[in-house]
Amino acid sequence: MPSALIRLAPFAIVFIVFGLSGFGAHAQTVRPEAVATGLENPWGLAFLPNGRFLVTERAGRLRVVEANGQVGAPLAGLPAIDAGGQGGLHDVITDTDFAVNRRFYFCFAEPATSGGGNSTAMARATLSADNTRLDDVRVIFSQKPKFSSSAHFGCRIVEARKEGKPDGTLLLTLGDRYSRMQDAQKLDNHHGKVIRVGKDGTVPKDNPFVGRAGALPEIWSYGHRNMQGAAVAPDGTYWTHEHGPQGGDEINLPQPGRNYGWPVVTFGENYGGGKVGEGLTVKAGMEPPLHYWEPSIAPSGMAFLTSDKYGKSWQGNLFVGSLKFGYLNRIELSEPFKGRVVREHKLLEGGERIRDVRQGPDGLLYVLTDSPRGRLLRLQPG
């Protein structure tokens, strides 16, 4: 089986092993089954009771997809959304107690009310009983400062867990807005950060920068570029991935108060060549990535597989979509749900951009393909 050794971080040796047809060891296959079609650049996916789905479209629409694949009309009640470029309506998750409160959370590009500009914002809402509108909509976080940009919004939401149980807070990834990348190293703004807030938008007292002069209290970690994937392992460990510049996409495990280096250190380079920042890959006081890709795969979406629907060898694997190369990446770890990356496998190599991946209540994987005629796919064991 051929293998390729990628450029090495000094703290780890990582082999990417691909077998024939893009698969490595344990060559289980999957059979994509179209659940719904005709979605315009779908971005985020959440699961509703009775086999329904909640799907965002980047253009600024939120839809319920029925269990039979019927795509509903856009839901009424969304706030103003600045849709353009990379911005629009992005991620969505349902509350742990959705069956009782019908509450969910979503993030989007929020236009300024005056003076121009936009930023990533997160809101909560209640889905009406007839699945046609949003009620009780409230923005619970708004990235500061607003800035005129159509790039690097980040915008993945997860519910944080402690000792394996939800702790009542939300973690949200925020991009550096591209031309404001130097802000990622400063604590007086939300660019290039992970933030943590309560479900009502309040700041948890145990956030790492609470009470620190000149630092925004919502910040959880900093020194990030553009994170479009996030997941929580069963043990509560928080995982993210982010787009590098040219090369250097990363997987990180953001810890409270830690600095992840962008744009001072990176395994990538400027578009067209040339060093970024100090031209270093590691530096004291800055956390190295768990894993990086060179060349970039343009990752989006992230999920752990906890079920055994695809066999025991897949249980505990990490799944990440590739926008650039159009495949779903199955990532084997040295231990289930933890450890280092030991092997990667390409699935669904059909050229479709994979925007999101989630494990459904049935234990199967679901993906969204990013195109003007995007699809919601269910992955059946092959």
Residues catalogued as catalytic = 152
Contact 217, 201 (CB under 8 A): no
How far apart (Å, rounded) are the C-alpha atoms in residues 123 and 131?
18
Helix (H), strand (E) at residue 101: helix 98-101
Residue among 92, 116, 32, 142 at smallest CA distance from 376: 32
How far apart (Å, rounded) are the C-alpha atoms in residues 72 and 197?
31
SS3 293: strand
Contact 208, 192 (CB under 8 A): no
Residue among 304, 290, 283, 221 at smallest CA distance from 250: 290
How far apart (Å, rounded) are the C-alpha atoms in residues 186 and 174?
14
How far apart (Å, rounded) are the C-alpha atoms in residues 68 and 181?
44
How far apart (Å, rounded) are the C-alpha atoms in residues 95 and 102?
8
CA neighbours closer than 13 Å in the CB half-sphere of residue 218:
27
How far apart (Å, rounded) are the C-alpha atoms in residues 45 and 90?
9
DSSP 318-349: EEEEETTTTEEEEEEEEETTEEEEEEEEEE--
Q: What is the 3-state secondary structure (H, E, C) of 245-257?
A: CECCEEEECCCCC
